[in-house]
């Protein structure tokens, strides 16, 4: 019976005796079986968690590609070298190296240009680096020494003023009004000092020079002699002291080749007289008389221009009133006096700040205004 019961045991329905008999063991087994899987899952989860942590720690490896960032300073180093070429591009550092002011002469084949070549070649602390003339000039290609009457310079005359301003510290200019206005633009472009002795500039050309003076030091003077600049100061004082009953006339004479009239020096003397009278020359100037002009107007400043021979430059300012006349004159017998003043201007202008200067600045004198008097 026991064997039959055991034989039939497998065929019993799983809900009766077999199920009842196996419940305690099955529950125990299930309880025991459930514990390990939970622990196994917990360990696996822990392992997964542990494995995930190093995975999250991997990102710190990302700074490795950031390390190339310090390489960026390498291209920055060439940028630091920029000041070197910038400093070397201008003439001033070169002047510091050889101790000489490099000077160029625009209009080097003219009367004043040749005189300047001779004097500048002998001036201490000065090195002549070039000279220019207008296109088509017969002087083009000549050695500067031949124009100066000295030994060869090894430098020939050319027609490239822009290049002259680039290579020089100071360019001195005795050319013509149109050329001088253009040259002032070259001076402004590179900050090159520009000493101007050209006369006859019109208002537009003078304005061009004034604009250039905002970027370069420019010394502009119709006459660079010490005597004429002193005379200008004296005339202003006299005009301030003598009232409008005194008529003012300016007479000038120059060589037959001079192309402008009145001369630039005569005009600066007239401007000095006008300042002394508290007015402007444009309002009171009488530039020559011809025909039936009528009586002289009170307060006029008259001009007379004479031309002939090889006269370097004579200027006389006349103050005339009933019963007496005062004449103040300056006579130049050699262009050397202008060249000497020009050399002073060159030495003075080198390294100056941008601005429009006069020979009074160069020579360092100024006769201050005095109180007007009632004397006649």
Q: Is residue 6 scored above 90 in pLDDT? A: no
Q: What pTM does this model have?
A: 0.64
Query: Which of 3.30.360.10, 1.10.3720.10, 3.40.50.2000, 3.10.180.10 would CATH assign to domain 226-333?
Result: 3.30.360.10
| CB-neighbour burial class of residue 230 (10 A; exposed 0-12, middle 13-18, buried 19+) | middle
What is the CATH architecture of 92-220? 3-Layer(aba) Sandwich (3.40)
Asked if residues 199 and 122 have their Cβ atoms less than 8 Å apart, the reply is: no
Ordered DSSP codes for 46-78: HHHHHHHHHHHHSGGGTHHHHTTGGGTHHHHHH
Neighbouring CB atoms inside 10 A of 261's CB total 17
Which whole number is the average pLDDT over 230-244?
Answer: 94
What would the two tokens of residue 216 be?
């370069």
Query: What is the rounded CA–CA span in Å between residue 331 and residue 317?
Result: 12
- State the catalytic residues: 254, 258
pLDDT score of 335 = 84
pLDDT score of 168 = 97
Per-residue pLDDT of 193-215, as tens digits, reads 999 999 889 999 999 999 999 99
Query: Could you tell me the residue ranges of all domains in the chain?
Result: 20-80, 92-220, 226-333
Strand order in the sheet with 217-220: 126-132, 101-106, 170-173, 193-196, 217-220, 355-357
Which whole number is the average pLDDT over 279-284?
Answer: 95
Average pLDDT of the chain? 79
Phi-psi bin for 294: left (phi > 0), alpha (psi -120 to 50), beta? left
């Amino acid at each position: 019976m026991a064997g039959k019961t055991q034989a039939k045991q497998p065929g019993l329905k799983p809900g009766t005796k077999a199920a009842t008999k196996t419940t305690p063991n099955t529950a125990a087994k299930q309880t025991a079986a459930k514990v390990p899987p939970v622990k196994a899952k917990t360990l696996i989860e822990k392992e997964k968690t542990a494995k995930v942590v190093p995975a999250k720690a991997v990102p710190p490896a990302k700074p490795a590609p950031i390390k190339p960032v310090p390489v960026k300073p390498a291209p920055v180093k060439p940028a630091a070298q920029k000041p070197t070429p910038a400093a070397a591009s201008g003439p001033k550092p070169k002047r510091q190296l050889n101790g000489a002011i490099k000077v160029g002469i625009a209009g080097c084949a003219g009367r004043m240009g040749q005189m300047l070549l001779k004097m500048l070649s002998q001036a201490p602390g000065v090195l002549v680096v070039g000279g220019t003339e207008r296109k088509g000039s017969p002087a083009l290609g000549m050695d500067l020494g031949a124009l100066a009457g000295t030994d060869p310079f090894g430098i020939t005359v050319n027609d490239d003023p822009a290049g002259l301003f680039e290579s020089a510290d100071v360019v001195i200019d005795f050319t013509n009004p149109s050329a001088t206005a253009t040259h002032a633009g070259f001076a402004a472009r590179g900050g090159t000092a520009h000493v101007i002795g050209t006369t006859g500039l019109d208002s537009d050309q003078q304005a061009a020079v004034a604009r250039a003076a905002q970027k370069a030091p420019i010394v502009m003077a119709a006459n660079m002699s010490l005597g004429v600049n002193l005379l200008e100061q004296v005339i202003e004082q006299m005009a301030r002291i003598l009232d409008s009953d005194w008529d003012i006339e300016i007479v000038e004479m120059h060589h037959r080749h001079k192309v402008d009239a009145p001369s630039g020096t005569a005009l600066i003397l007239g401007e000095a007289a006008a300042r002394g009278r508290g007015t402007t020359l444009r309002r009171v100037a009488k530039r020559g008389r011809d025909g039936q002009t009528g009586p002289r107007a009170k307060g006029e400043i008259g001009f007379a221009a004479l031309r002939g021979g090889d006269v370097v430059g004579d200027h006389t300012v006349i103050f005339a009133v009933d019963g007496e006349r005062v004449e103040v004159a300056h006579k130049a017998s050699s262009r050397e006096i202008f060249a000497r003043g020009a050399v002073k201007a060159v030495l003075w202008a080198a390294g100056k700040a941008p601005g429009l200067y006069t020979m009074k600045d160069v020579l360092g004198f100024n006769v201050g205004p005095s109180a007007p008097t009632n004397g006649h």
